[in-house]
Every structure is written in structure tokens, then in C-alpha cells.
Structure 1
Amino acid sequence: MSEKRRTRAGARLIATDDGHKVTPAELFFDLVFVYAITQVTALMAAAPSPLRLLGGGVVLALLWWCWCCFAWLGNVVRADSGAMFSVLVAVMAVVLIVSLTVPEVYEDLPGGLSAPLVFVLCYGAVRSLHLIAYWMSGPGDPVLRRTLRRTALMSVAPPFALLLVGSALSGMTQILVWLAAVAVDYGGIYIAGGSGWRVASPGHFAERHGLIVIIALGESIVAIGVGVSGLPLSAPVLVASAAGLMVVAGLWRLYFRELSERAEHKLTHLDGDDRTRLARDAYTFLHLPLVGGIVLTALGMKKTLHQIADTGHYELSEPLHGVVAWALTGGVGVFLLGTAAILLRTTGRSSATLLAGGVLCLGAGALVSLVPALLALGLLAAAVTALVVVHDRTGRTAKA
């Protein structure tokens, strides 16, 4: 092959097929989102309050949309091809900048660039690169191109305008304007419909989302270590760390042993717009509560471990307070309800165990604020373990 032909082959976008698997290029791409998720947790942990948790959720929803855009694109175009890999590296650079702005996105520090404005401009750049790359991927697909034009008009331009307006504001007003942008963005994708988009490889699509769940769970484990960083090791810290790991392990099992295979199986046995709609609902929309729930739980565990380890400022008998007390169990509750929603969307079967567990965990914040932090974390670990056992037995009974 001549040098010119090699160059053309390396520059073009290469379509995937039904057996496509996740490439190392996509794993490399996910590295910036590891950092982004840790930054969201740090944003909420810096000044825990209901408003800050809402603001952190808005930032996470915007970052999630950036990730989802390229999960879809990587399903139809090989991420390790010349042109596509160049796009991914460019997006990684932009998302890294976005991640650097997250701690200042609601409280901009003087003396530098405007963090909210940089965040918004970079978000717009990611969405634009996604649309351009998708446009290049389907030169002979008029349905896809119509969908891309509709997406740009409904789900990119209006939210970007709202984000720009919000970047000039502050406090609750900024957060509410950005929340409106998220609602318009997500709603626009839903209204635009599933025609034009496609899922070429269900296995790849399911694996990509499983990997991002693993990344989020990893953030929970990192939060345990960060919470005790710089503080002396003690027996209560060891017990709390083990309990935190049990919580993470329970969430892992619920997803990877109880849910992911069923969702992938359903996705594989659909085709056309039915497959696209399921992928949109069960993965793009309903995986966000899973990641968000894990981030909230990571916040709760980080603060719990810090309080247990910092004996100079806290008594071991002292409970968690405020939104941190709710986040510890509430994050698990959000995860459980998201899992129940995915199960219902993919199998048509509701899980009373997941629903009851989710509701109880959401309401358990009041109890957490009454008992010592270490006991609260231990009880949560026991509750998640018991729920996994009950749900596993219920699932086997349903299959029998």
C-alpha cells in the first residue's frame, strides 16, 4: 500500500459491526472522566448543603452527557481509527479543562479566568465536536443527518444559550438556570426521537456503560482513602473502611450480577428504533441515577471516614449532620431506585425489594443523624448486604 493510501485509510472513520468490543482508546478516553467524577465529589464536599448538592448534580448531568455522546459515537465508529482517535484526544483535552473548572464553577476565584464561562465554552466545544464527528460518520445517511440537525436545534443550541446566561450569574439563580439547560438538553433528545441513531453492537454499548459504573464505584473507594488522608490510622478507621468497601461491593453485585446481563440480553434481541429507544432510556437516561447515587454515597463515606479518623475534632460517638447524613444512605437509595427503573424498562418486571430498599435508604438520613457515624456506616453495609441476598433469592424464584 502506498504512503498516500495509508494516510487516507488512517484518516477516515471506520464503521463498527455487531461484534465490536470496547477498544483501549475508549478506556484511555475514560481516564479524564475518572478525574471529572472526583472533582464533582470534591465540589459537593467543600461546602455540603442542599443547594451545593443540587449544583453538583447539575454539573454531573452535563459531564454525563459529554460522556454519553462519545459512547454512542464509539458504538458506530471505531475509536482507535486515525481520525476518531484524534477527535477523542481533542475531547479529552477539553474535558480535562472542564474538570479543572469544576471546583470554581459556582464560586469563581478572583485573579484568573472565569471558571463558569470556561466550563460552558468547553461544554459547547465537546457537543460540537460530537455532532461534527457523527455527521462525518454517515455521509450517505440522510435520516441520521436530519436527526443531527434536529438535535443541534433542540438539544445543543438552546441549552448552550442558557448555560452562557447562567455563567454570568451566581448562587441559586445560576444553578436553577443551568438546571433548566439540563432539562432542555435531555428533553430535546427525548423529543427528537430514536430515528437516525443506532446501536451497532449491543455488547459494546452495555460494556461501555458497565465500565463507567466501575469508574464511579472506584471513586467511592478513593473517597474512603481521601477521607482519612493525613490522619492517624486507628481501629475504628479500619472497621469503617471495611464497612465502606462492603457497601461498594453490594452495589457492584446488584449491577453486574443482577442487572447488566439482563439489560444487554434485552438490547441484543431488539433491532432498529426499538433497540435505539431502549439504549436511550435504560442506558443514557437511567444510568445517570446510578452514577449520581454512587457519587452521593462517595461524598457520605468521605465525610464519615474523615469524622471517624479526626479524633481531635470529633468524638467517636458523634453522628453525621446535615446533608452529609442524608448523602450516605440517600446515595444508595438513588442507586437502588435507578436499578429498579432499569430492571422495569428492560424486563417489564418490578422489584419490590429494590423499590422498598431505595425508599428506606432515601428516608434513612434522619436516623443517620441520630447514631454515631461508624454505627451508621456499619448498619448501611449490613442493610445493603441483606438486600443483595434477598434480591438474589427473589430473582431466582422469579426465574424458576
Structure 2
Amino acid sequence: MTTSESAGIRVSTLELFFDLVFVFTVTQLADALAHDLSPRGLIDATLILTVVWWMYSGYAWLTNAVAPTTTTRRTLLLAGMAGFLVMALAIPEAFGAYGWIFGVSYLLVNVVHSVLFLQAGPAAVRMMRTLGPLNLLAAALVLAGGLLPEPWRHLCWIAAPLVQITAGYVHPAEMHSISAGHFAERHSLVMIIAIGESIIAIGLGFREVHLDGGAILVAVLALGIAYYLWWCYFAGDDKRAEHVLAGMSDPLRRARLALNAWGYGHVPMLLGIVVTAVGIKKTVGHAFEPLHWGPAFALSGGVALYLLGHAAFLRLLRLSGVWHRVAGAALVLAVTPLGHLVAMAQLAAIPLIMAAGAIAEDLPRIRRLGMTEAIGDFGRNAG
């Protein structure tokens, strides 16, 4: 596929449907982490998200090169969706009784990915001679982790993402003429769906809570946090990131940037969304009570992790706003003790800090355009 041929590719509705299936992982991870909010639970969630995201991102590369326009391709993509769905269903016991189910499903996802990628032409065949076996090795390690006892189980799980990270840098570069617009849009869509799915996960926590003033305030503040997570990614930086990627004339440099910024760089942001959702769920029904340190750290730590992940994303793309994100992360972490005093104080402080960061980031534009025009276009034409 040449750059000119790929320039007009946009995300299809089938790909969006695929993303909806994938993002069920976010709900399942948030639920699993809420039931085991411990260092071990966080490590397990990180390992699961890393290996699942690697293959989701692999499918984004896949449909960038092989459009799902034929019945055969759509059927194979449906098989991949089924694999992602069953993996998500197995997440609560991925390190226990359902480990083998997760592993078999993950192997299916990898096999379908390899088979479909071979339809992209001779260059893809050359690439898959290296990438395919490494992906299958990672899948075999995940499956082995589902079958073996400890400590081999976690050793296999840790080895799998290490193999995948290696795979990202050793496969040939011939098949790297990607469509920047399609690639960036695909990842943007999954981010907005993930943020939305986190709101659903939070909302489910209200089912057994009396809807009084405190509960309503928690819901509104949680929405404020979700909004500013959206703002960080979508208030212009997503389009600027796409332009940077599209401006890379060297196919290899473009591919390396796509791999680093979107492939690896989105993991901390997605994990931050998961952890933030857990922290908010833990405040439901306890708005005017002290939080235990675990939920308090989850609430601030999840937002901070998201901000640091986005800072890394901006840094890789050489875009502005890095230090605003880093400073925001530090301030959000600093208010963690407020939650240990009363949950509502921490929950209110976080969106206030993020709003202040958004205003500070917009100040140069406000000075340049004037207050009236800038306020009418607050958030750098966000939308």
C-alpha cells in the first residue's frame, strides 16, 4: 500500500464494532482490580492489559493494511472478535481457573491476525516470517501461564510482553507504509470508548447505593474527572499527533513513531483509566467518609498515570504540553492524603487541578486571540 493509496482510509463501522468488543476488557479489568486492589492485583491487571493491547494494536495495523471489505476477511475478523470477547470474560480468573481459556482465546486472536496479515501482499509475508512466530511465542507463553502452577505462571506471563516488545523492533520494515489518518483515528476511537466504558463501570457501582445528595455529587465529580481525561487527549493534541505522523516521509521512521507513541505509549493511559475507575467506584457510598489508602492511591494514582502516559505520548511526538501533564500528575498525587481524611475532598480536588491545568495551558492562546474569542473557542476547538 502506498502513502497516496492509504491517505484517504478511514475507520470502518466494522472496526468500530471490533473496538467495542475490545473495550469490554476495560470493564472486566476494572471489576477484577476493584475486587483485588493490591500490588499483586495491579501487577496482574498490567500484565493482562499489556498483552491484550499488543494484539488490539496489532489489529489496528492489520486493518490499516488489509481493509475488511470481503466476506472472508470479515469472517476472520469476527473470529478475532470472538477471541477478544472470551479473553475478556476470562479476565476475573485469568491467573486461576480460567487461565487456559484466556490462553486458548489469545492464541486464536494471534492466529487470525497472522492469517489476515498474509493477505496484505509479499512485503507482509516477509514481515510475518519474523513477527508471526514471535507473536505466537508470546501467545504460547500466555497459554503456558494458564496451565502451569506458580511461580511458573507469572514467569510465563512476564515473559510474554517482553517477547512482544522485542518483536516490535526486530521485524522487517518493508510493510510500514501506514495511513496516518486511519491509524490515529482508530486509536482515538478506542480511547474515547474506554473513557466512556469507565463511566459505565462507575455507574454500575451506584446500583446498590441510595441516590442522595452525596451520591449525586460523586457522580458529577466523577464525570468531571472523565471530562478532563477526555480533554487531555482530544482537545487538539489528537489532531496534532496525526499531523506529525502524516508528516513523516520516511516509512520506517513513521512506523517506529507509531509503534512507540500509539503502540507502547497508550498502555499507561489505558491502565490509568482502569485504575481511576476503580478509585471512583471505591468512593461510591463513602463520599463523606475517610478512604483507605488503597482506594485513595487508586483515585489519584490512576489520573496521574494517565497524565504521565499522555506526557510521554506528547514527548515522543515532540508536541507541547508535556510539563503541564507532569505538573498535573504531581499535584494530583499530592492530594492523595485528602481522601484519607474525607473522600469527597480528594474527589473534588482532582477535577479542580485538571481544570486549572487546562486553563494554564490555554493562557498563551487566550493572550494571543483575546478573551472573548478564546472563551468562545475554549479548549483549542475541542470537539
The TM-score with structure 1 as length reference comes to 0.85
Is 1:330 matched up with 2:301?
yes
Query: Are the structure 2 counterparts of residues 278 and 241 from structure 1 closer, same or farther at C-alpha, using a change threshold of 3 Å?
Result: same
Contact 1:216 / 1:294 at 8 angstroms: preserved in 2?
yes
Query: Are the structure 2 counterparts of residues 49 and 214 from structure 1 closer, same or farther at C-alpha, using a change threshold of 3 Å?
Result: same
Who is 1:357 aligned against?
Answer: 328
Who is 2:74 aligned against?
Answer: 85
Where 1:307 maps in the other structure, the secondary structure is coil
- Structure 2 gap segments, 5+ residues each: 370-383
Who is 1:98 aligned against?
Answer: 87
The correspondence for 1:146, drawn from 119, 126, 137, is: 126
Who is 2:266 aligned against?
Answer: 287
Who is 2:357 aligned against?
Answer: 387
State the shift of 1:151 in Å. Answer: 1.1
The TM-score with structure 2 as length reference comes to 0.89
* Cα shift readout 1:236-268 (whole Å, capped 9, x = no counterpart): 111111111111111111111142011101011
Is 1:263 matched up with 2:246?
no
Aligned equivalents of 2:197, 2:301: Cα separation in 1: 17
Contact 2:66 / 2:120 at 8 angstroms: preserved in 1?
yes
Contact 2:27 / 2:197 at 8 angstroms: preserved in 1?
yes
* Cα shift readout 1:88-135 (whole Å, capped 9, x = no counterpart): 111111211111111111242xxxxxx101111111111111111111
Size of the alignment, in residue pairs? 366
Comparing 322-331 with 48-57, which one deviates more in the overlay? 322-331
* Cα shift readout 1:319-344 (whole Å, capped 9, x = no counterpart): 22143221111111111111111111
The correspondence for 2:105, drawn from 122, 133, 140, is: 122
Aligned equivalents of 2:182, 2:317: Cα separation in 1: 17
Aligned equivalents of 1:176, 1:49: Cα separation in 2: 19
Aligned equivalents of 2:329, 2:365: Cα separation in 1: 17
Who is 1:184 aligned against?
Answer: 163
Contact 1:61 / 1:288 at 8 angstroms: preserved in 2?
yes
Query: Are the structure 2 counterparts of residues 172 and 56 from structure 1 closer, same or farther at C-alpha, using a change threshold of 3 Å?
Result: farther
Who is 1:49 aligned against?
Answer: 38
Query: Are the structure 2 counterparts of residues 21 and 254 from structure 1 closer, same or farther at C-alpha, using a change threshold of 3 Å?
Result: same
Is 1:307 matched up with 2:290?
no
The correspondence for 1:133, drawn from 111, 116, 123, is: 116
Contact 1:37 / 1:295 at 8 angstroms: preserved in 2?
yes
Aligned equivalents of 2:230, 2:7: Cα separation in 1: 27
The sequence identity of aligned pairs, in percent, is 33
* Cα shift readout 1:286-336 (whole Å, capped 9, x = no counterpart): 11211111111111111112433xxxxxxx2x2221432211111111111
* Cα shift readout 1:144-195 (whole Å, capped 9, x = no counterpart): 3222111123x324323322332234567633431221122122212336x0
Query: Are the structure 2 counterparts of residues 126 and 394 from structure 1 closer, same or farther at C-alpha, using a change threshold of 3 Å?
Result: farther
- Structure 1 gap segments, 5+ residues each: 1-14, 109-114, 309-315
2:126 partner letter: R
